[in-house]
C-alpha cells in the first residue's frame, strides 16, 4: 500500500514537471503528456482508494 501511494505521488510529480516544461518551452507535446499521465494517475488512485473504502465497509 505504501508503494502504491509513492507511485501515485511520483506520477503526479511527473505531470507537474511536464506542465512546467510546457510553460517553459510552449511545446504542446509536454502538455499532452502531462494530461495523459495526470488522467491515468487519478483513475488509478480513485480505483485504489475505492477498493480500500469497500474493504472497510464490508
- The residues spanned by each domain of the chain are 2-57
Torsion 40-41-47-48 (CA) sign: positive
Q: Cβ-count burial of 18 within 10 angstroms (0-12 exposed, 13-18 middle, 19+ buried)? A: buried
More confident residue, 23 or 4: 23
Cell of 1: 500500500
What pLDDT is stored for residue 4 in this prediction?
A: 87
- Give residue 41's pLDDT band: very low, low, confident or very high (50, 70, 90): very high
pTM: 0.84
- Give residue 18's pLDDT band: very low, low, confident or very high (50, 70, 90): very high
Amino acid at each position: 500500500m505504501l508503494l502504491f501511494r509513492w507511485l501515485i505521488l511520483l506520477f503526479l510529480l511527473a505531470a507537474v514537471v511536464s506542465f512546467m516544461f510546457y510553460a517553459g518551452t510552449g511545446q504542446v507535446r509536454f502538455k499532452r503528456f502531462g494530461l495523459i499521465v495526470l488522467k491515468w494517475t487519478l483513475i488509478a488512485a480513485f480505483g485504489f482508494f475505492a477498493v480500500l473504502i469497500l474493504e472497510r465497509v464490508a
